[in-house]
Amino acid sequence: MTDLASTASVHPAAPRFRHGTIEAALGAALLLAWLIAAVGAGVFAPYDPNALDLVAMLAPPDGVHWFGTDHLGRDVFSRVIYGARIDIWMGFAGVIAPLVVGVTVGLIAGYFGGLTDTILMRILDITVAFPFFILVIAIVGVLGPGLVNYIIALALVAWVAYARLVRAEVLVVKRLEYVQAARALGFSDFVIILRHVLPNVLGSITIYAWTDAVMVILAGASLGFLGLGAQPPTAEWGVMIADGQPYVLQAWWICLFPGIAMVTLSLGFILVSDGLSRRLRVSS
Amino acid sequence: MSLVSVQGLSVTFPSEKGPVAAVRNVSFDLKPGEILGIVGESGSGKSVTCRALLGLLPRRATIGGRMIYDGRDLSGPAEIQAVRGREISMIFQNPASHLDPLMTIGDHVAEPLRFHFGLSAAEARAEALKLLESVRIRDAASRMDAWPHQLSGGMKQRVLIASALACKPRLLLADEPTTALDVTVQAGILQLLRDLNRESGLTMALVSHDLGVIAEICDRVIVMRGGEVIESGPVRDVVTNPQHEYTRLLIGAQPGRLPQMAEPQEAPAGLVDLKDVAVHFPTRSGGGIVRAVDGVNLSVRKGECFGIVGESGSGKSTVARTIVRLITPTGGRVMFEGKSVADLSGADLTAYRRAVQMVFQSPFDSLNPRMTAQQTIAEPIWRHGLASKSAAMERALELMDMVELPRSFATRRPRALSGGQCQRVGIARALALSPRLLIADEVTSALDVTVQAQILRLLTRLRKEHDLTVIYISHDLTVVRKFCDRVAVFQGGRLVETGATADLFASPSTEYTRDLIAAAPDMDQAMAERA
Amino acid sequence: MNSISFIGRRLLQIVPVLIGISLVSFFLIMMIPGDPVRMVLGPRATEEAVTAMRQEWGLDRPIWAQYLSYIGNTLTGDLGQSLKFRIPVLDLVLQYLPRTLFLVAYVLVIALPATILMAVIAARNEGRWPDQLIRVISILGMTIPVFWLGVLFARYFGVKLGWFPVSGYGDGFVEHLHHLFLPAVSTSLWLAPLLTRNLRAALIEQTEADYVAASRAKGLPEGYIFRRHILRNSVLPTLNLLGVMIAFLIGGSVVVEIVYAVPGLGALMVGSVLGRDYFVIQGLTLVYAIATVAITLAIDIFTAAIDPRTSE
């Protein structure tokens, strides 16, 4: 008797399901670690992040200053820990603001269609015509540098991705018979959108939002680096890298550690997004 | 000697809950020149068996047993690749997705010719044209450079057949080749397959859920259930003298064998009247107009079961949606108890919503995946303010009893329910507002025949108990014949004819209705004709 | 025949977008908190000077008149004067533009072949080690901040090893290649992973498509099926993403240009924002938007040429 098992590779679906879970858990652990560090920065950071120590300028990492000090003698480790507060806040606020705008627009445009849809989509077309980062810089440029203005700029610019995603999903869900049934049962549009449409489009938005957080943090840090985001002496990772740039040859640690911090935080977000999307795909 | 011999075939898929056997110890033989039918309901393993022969199962599947083709053991990928196309070819259920959207019709057919027979581009093109003509594609020369999306479903299936025949196989596997097609189109494809078998001796295995289709063209049949072969033999023997209890159940559930459920009665009072109703849409690219429904006049009487039959694009569903006011007609009026439905608003509209309810086609899509059965059924009751939320949940349980759904399923979500159970939830939800008119739009077309029989029985009982008027929309003439008191036939958005069911079937007054009746596959009739 | 009408329709759709773009860039200046004239002239400017500048800028006229003259000027190529450089904004843009375009093209030349190679390897080995490795690389690539990598690269490969210049653009094609190597590589390290993820997913999705099973049933060889059917169908979604990404890239070049001191549009933009050179900001925003619209249009036409379904 010949066994035909050789035609099929041994790659069962069950471990793949666990895979997604492991990824998501790893990502969540990274995020949680950073969240704890940020919240408890006052406890974990050995120094005041802005305390100058002109005697210990550009000191390399050692037992006293774990990550060394910068050109003003500030403790890099403490600044990285405090920086987490800024960058995590930026990640969450910078996702939620455009998410709320975009989901609202997408639900309304997709569900009602017609003229409403046409007008909203034209506004969307115009917004996407501007390169994301350029429009953010331009808006921050006229409103003035700073983190709050960055979040405002995001709400004005980054909503388009959510609006498109939600609208596309709503167009699918709207045709499904349970939404038709809800209409035939005489439920109001408000009830249908909120109870029957929204919960069923949230999955893909959630997955996208976790990836979007990475973009928001990277772009925000880039702004900080360019001098258009968080303003010195705020301990924000992008600002810290900018501070360390002139000294990177003799004091590599000033630039290196905030960068690693950013990579690990971003990794947390992406792993959660990836894990969730894999689980969603397997279960459907 | 047999062309194919399958011995103890088993197919197992891994899952979260451990391995699941899709096919268990299946053995059968295929003789040269015969048409073998493989019949079974969803999950019976009939398609998996068919795909295993050509190695088309996903990589994660584990396959056991022996498959021998013409003395060759198909024991591994290389052996299977050697017979693919040239010896065994296959056609599929959904012709649209089985054609590459970025390849022309002509290239689809020329492609295997160039590979298997080394024809030059020009030779392959000439040969492809002949093949397209042989599968009776009208105006084949001008269709050569058309794209798949420009063809109708029936034409796509013909292209798929031509493309499979281009390999000049000795065996053609046909996996539900007509399931996605209209009955008149199905009849044409079945005729084509039969002719291919008779004229060129092409051996075939036809997988179908429809015993009517099997009875029309197959010589022998194997009946599958839950991954196993239950019964096999010549079609006549199996149909007239089924040995296994499940086979008897399956045969008994054939629409033609169902008891007469219609009860025509004297009920002159009209409930719903459509007066010159039209629904026109602008075409997507703008400019033109799609006449989804045009100039429809009909009257549904109080207490009757009114059938609407038609093929895809006939406008039958649009009519249903117009009556429940999901679509606003662009012309004419829908009258309910003498009042124009379009003019209703406020309390009158709410009253109308309660009086007219609808059950939909797709068992899973018609339920919100995030709500439990009980929540789904209760929602309309409390949203309409007919009861408190907790009282509504209590009432939902009673409604579940009414549709014969065990109360233990109350907390299940659609994904944990079968198709038939989902449809019962949909019916209970529609009944929650105690409607007087129930519109059932293809409610059984996605279900297995045995489940269809149960749902029809349930609807008949509910109709009597609750004094419901029912509009039953279906593509299946046989079901309508058994279930409806009066029938309307639709074609291309227009009402072709209407009349009492018995009269209409006995003496159809239009050619279209005659064709439709003739094309509907019916097991008993097919057997009678072959005798 | 069909494609001409498709392009015509597409061009027609662009008109409202262009009007919208002009409105946004016009109102961008209006968003400046406070009085732009005072911001430029400083708090101690005399009332006469303020009024004079107001008149010069046309700020004393009604908004619609200002907008109309803005449109009129823009259509004739007049984007205003740079407050800092004292030359027309258009001249400034034309001077800086080629460097950014060169950089973008350079990035694409590096990133696209890498993307296709990695995606194909990953998709054909789905779930096995090459796929896992490429997945890890692409996730890392997405999380590494380009400017941080730029800083490290510039100091290490540029200053310490002295392999590459760390600023400027150089003279002549070969010099350009040399000068922009590090900027192009650091940008590609971010772009390629993004595209790879997308193309890999598209390839795997298409591998499971029904028409692939149908092709196999006809006995066509795997390699041929992959090239002729799977790859072609996967290119379409990735092409759309590429369009978005090129637009993104033009914007994203800002950071790289600053890090490597490349005198491109991005560097000009940041300089103008920091120096409150409002008309340059306005002009650049407009130019960027028009470039994006042009790229999107090009991608759409290209898609329509490949996909017979879009032109109907």
Q: What is the pLDDT of residues A190-244, one digit of tens each?
A: 999 999 999 999 888 888 898 899 989 999 999 989 888 888 888 889 889 888 8
**Number of neighbours of residue A51 by Cβ within 10 angstroms:** 11
Q: C289: Cβ–Cβ under 8 A, 6 or more apart, which residues?
A: A129, A130, A131, C21, C24, C25
**pLDDT for A11:** 35
C32 pLDDT above the threshold of 50: yes
A104 sits in the region (left: phi over 0; alpha: psi -120 to 50; else beta) called alpha
Interchain pair C143, A130: CB under 8 A:
no
Give the distance from residue B148's alpha carbon to the nearest chain C alpha carbon, in angstroms. 9
Q: C34: Cβ–Cβ under 8 A, 6 or more apart, which residues?
A: none
What are the residues of chain B with a beta carbon less than 8 Å away from any beta carbon of chain C?
A: 51, 54-56, 58, 81, 83-86, 88-90, 92, 94, 97-103, 111-112, 115-116, 147, 149, 160, 163-164, 166-167, 173, 285
Least confident range of A4-13, A266-275, B417-426, B506-515: A4-13
Give the distance from residue B118's alpha carbon to the nearest chain A alpha carbon, in angstroms. 28
Residue A231 is assigned to a structural domain of this protein: yes
C238 and C202 Cβ atoms separated by less than 8 Å: yes
The CATH number of whichever domain residue A157 belongs to comes to 1.10.3720.10
**Number of neighbours of residue B122 by Cβ within 10 angstroms:** 9
* Section C75-101 average pLDDT: 86
With CA atoms as reference, the chain C residue closest to B159 would be C214
Interface of C with B in 256-295 (CB under 8 A): none
What is chain C's Cα-based Rg? 24
C120 pLDDT above the threshold of 50: yes
Interchain pair B365, A186: CB under 8 A:
no
The whole-angstrom separation of Cα C306 and Cα B330 is 38
Cβ-based contacts of A266 with chain C (< 8 Å): 142-143
The model carries a pTM of 0.85
The one-letter amino acid code at B92 reads F
Q: Domain C98-278, what fold?
A: MetI-like fold (1.10.3720)
**pLDDT for C64:** 85
Residue A8 is assigned to a structural domain of this protein: no
Residue A169 is assigned to a structural domain of this protein: yes
Cβ-based contacts of C10 with chain B (< 8 Å): none
Residue A198 is assigned to a structural domain of this protein: yes
**pLDDT for A1:** 32
Element (H, E) at B232: strand B228-234
Q: A262: Cβ–Cβ under 8 A, 6 or more apart, which residues?
A: A87, A217, A218, A221, A237, C143, C145, C148
**pLDDT for B285:** 62
Interchain pair C218, B81: CB under 8 A:
no
With CA atoms as reference, the chain A residue closest to B441 would be A177
Tell me whether A254 touches chain C (CB under 8 Å). no
Give the distance from residue A128's alpha carbon to the nearest chain C alpha carbon, in angstroms. 8
Edge-to-edge strand ranges of the sheet holding B270-282: B289-301, B270-282, B331-336, B339-340
pLDDT band at C275 (very low <50, low <70, confident <90, very high): confident
Tell me whether B383 touches chain A (CB under 8 Å). yes
Report residue C293 as tokens.
Answer: 């619209």
Cβ-based contacts of B430 with chain A (< 8 Å): 181
Tell me whether B62 touches chain A (CB under 8 Å). yes
With CA atoms as reference, the chain A residue closest to C150 would be A245
B203 pLDDT above the threshold of 90: yes
Tell me whether C144 touches chain B (CB under 8 Å). no
C236 and C205 Cβ atoms separated by less than 8 Å: no
**pLDDT for A2:** 34
Nearest Cβ partner for B111 among C213, C220, C308: C220
Give the distance from residue A111's alpha carbon to the nearest chain C alpha carbon, in angstroms. 23
Mean pLDDT of chain B, nearest integer: 91
Residue A147 is assigned to a structural domain of this protein: yes
Tell me whether A262 touches chain C (CB under 8 Å). yes
The whole-angstrom separation of Cα B304 and Cα B484 is 8
Tell me whether B82 touches chain A (CB under 8 Å). no
Report, as ranges of residue numbers, the positions in chain A whose pLDDT lies below 50: 1-17, 284
Give the distance from residue C239's alpha carbon to the nearest chain B alpha carbon, in angstroms. 15
Tell me whether A134 touches chain C (CB under 8 Å). yes
Q: Domain range holding A118?
A: 15-49+62-283
C312 pLDDT above the threshold of 70: no
Q: pLDDT > 90: what percent of chain C?
A: 15
Interchain pair A181, B366: CB under 8 A:
yes
Q: A: neighbours with 3+ CB pairs under 8 Å?
A: B, C
**pLDDT for A111:** 94
Chain A interface disruption, residue of C97, C143, C187, C200, most A CBs within 10 A: C143
With CA atoms as reference, the chain C residue closest to A142 would be C32
B286 pLDDT above the threshold of 80: no
Least confident range of A199-203, C26-30, C296-300: C26-30
Interchain pair C24, A126: CB under 8 A:
yes
DSSP result, B477-526: HHHHHHH-SEEEEEETTEEEEEEEHHHHHHS-SSHHHHHHHHHS--HHHH
Give the distance from residue C131's alpha carbon to the nearest chain B alpha carbon, in angstroms. 16
Residue ranges of the domains in chain C? 98-278
Cβ-based contacts of A118 with chain B (< 8 Å): none
B136 pLDDT above the threshold of 80: yes
C1 pLDDT above the threshold of 50: no
Burial class (CB in 10 A: 0-12, 13-18, 19+), B172: buried
Residue A55 is assigned to a structural domain of this protein: no
A129 and C292 Cβ atoms separated by less than 8 Å: yes
Tell me whether B490 touches chain A (CB under 8 Å). no
Tell me whether C205 touches chain B (CB under 8 Å). no
The one-letter amino acid code at C111 reads A
The whole-angstrom separation of Cα B372 and Cα B379 is 11
Cβ-based contacts of C221 with chain B (< 8 Å): 115
The one-letter amino acid code at C36 reads P
B325-343 tens-digit pLDDT: 999 999 999 999 989 999 9
Chain A interface disruption, residue of C131, C148, C196, C293, most A CBs within 10 A: C148
Number of structural domains chain A divides into:
1
**pLDDT for A17:** 47
Cβ-based contacts of B77 with chain A (< 8 Å): 6-7
